[in-house]
Amino acid sequence: MAETFDIVFKGGTVVNQDGEGLADIGVRDGKIRAIGDIGEGLAGETIDARGLHILPGVIDSQVHFREPGMEHKEDLETGSRSAVLGGVTAVFEMPNTKPPTTSAEALEAKVDAATDRMHCDFAFFIGATRENIDELAELERLPGAAGVKVFAGSSTGDLLVDDEESLARMFATIRRRASFHSECESRLKERVSVQREGDPASHTEWRDPIAAIASTERLLRLATDAGKRIHILHISTGAEMELLSLHKDVASVEVTPQHLTLATPDAYERLGTRAQMNPPLRDQANQDILWWGLQQGVVDVLGSDHAPHTLDEKAGSYPATPSGMPGVQTLVPVMLDHVNAGRLSLARFVDLTSAGPQRLFGIAGKGRIAAGYDADLTVVDLKAERVIENAWIGSKSGWTPFAGRSVRGWPIGTIVRGRLAMWDGELGQAGGAAVRFGEALPKVSSV
């Protein structure tokens, strides 16, 4: 008797370990069960995917969904709504909430709040503090934990571990790869007078490339001494990219679509304080080296650093304005536009958004279109031409720095464990669950 499926995606161009080719995908019980030529009448539901590309589900490994404590900007439901509207099937959310995610209780509360309420799957970073360092080895392995996040330079929120003694203690404690916001806090304090009232362009001058490279050099040294692995988030400077290319045995690298696409001074002239983020946008010369790092394989993953604030908050006068911008919903269309422009291949995009996160973080059952894996799929129309508009944004913040930008390549469907989380702009029922990790799977007793 022929195998039957809950849902079959027919006739799409599947992008997986075999390359690209026309194939059907059969899904049962939330898992991929067959790839190939699947006959008619073998599924409860059939989706016509002809003319579309089916990619492994896009994983955004850096978002800020602001819950608990800042729900007027975003919450877990609205942030995940924005994610699936943009083709993202799973997110790793950051710990700088109020209260911060620095304990087992806080992590459990987030997992409980997210389960079946978020539209995509999820994991949450544990924030490192001077007070919880001795507990990190256990916290980083709890269900739903993506690992440890360290703010080595201050940003939104109160989390900061910038002294060398505490960082060394942390490296001695953790076992998984830790993720870092890498800016030198002492240099930021020394240079605070560089900020000019009412001039957001001075943000890039204040948080200068030296602040970034000095911090990253120190983290590389400490990690090497401890024999541990690090992940440097949102690289913004050419100097860091060149340095990190020499230390791939220790460090993995993330870049954002914003740093790859928006450059100073134009971004500040067009967007004002809406272009303000940490680390800041840089000039074209730095952006060119970021693209060099991406094309040379130095960059491991793309993260959106989705960090929403309301337009009212952004409308204040610099430097009283908050840093950060929405990004989870625009990651796929902005980067597919770069694919269509020839700046990276579709295979490289897939590596950066699914296989890359799976490798770095040890994700279980995601990151590939393969039998036995979760049926997480990002379905895109590479030929579709659209204009990104604020009205399309599902985030509670209601805006994007890419508003008015024409792109070629658009997310058509977001499939999360076989569930249509989004299809052709329409949301399905929320049903998010915690991402599982190989280094934190429950032990199974032997028989």
Q: Residues with catalytic annotation?
A: 305
Residue with tokens 């541990």: 228
Structure tokens at 342: 């020839």
Q: In this structure, what are the phi and psi dihedrals at residue 133, rounded to the nearest 5 degrees?
A: -55, -45
**Are the C-beta atoms of residues 189 and 183 closer than 8 Å to each other?**
no
Residue with tokens 């604030």: 309
Kindly give, in sequence order, each residue whose CB lies less than 8 Å from that of residue 82, ignoring residues fewer than 6 positions away.
Answer: 306, 326, 328, 329, 393, 394, 395
The b/e string for 217-245 (b: 16+ C-beta within 10 A; e otherwise) is: bbbbebbeebebbbbbbbbbbbbbbebbb
Residue closest to 300 by CA, chosen among 241, 340, 343, 259: 241
| Cis amide leading into 322 (omega within 30) | no
CA distances, 197 to each of 92, 310, 321 (Å): 35, 20, 11
| Terminal-to-terminal C-alpha distance of the chain | 33
| Cis amide leading into 100 (omega within 30) | no
One-letter amino acid identity for 110?
K
**Are the C-beta atoms of residues 390 and 334 closer than 8 Å to each other?**
no
DSSP string, 256-274: -HHHHH--BTHHHHHHGGG
The b/e string for 89-123 (b: 16+ C-beta within 10 A; e otherwise) is: bbbbbbbbbeebbbbeebbebbbeebbeebbbbbb
Q: Are strands 406-416 and 377-387 parallel, antiparallel or unpaired?
A: antiparallel
The b/e string for 412-421 (b: 16+ C-beta within 10 A; e otherwise) is: bbbbbbbbbb
CA distance 35 to 18: 11
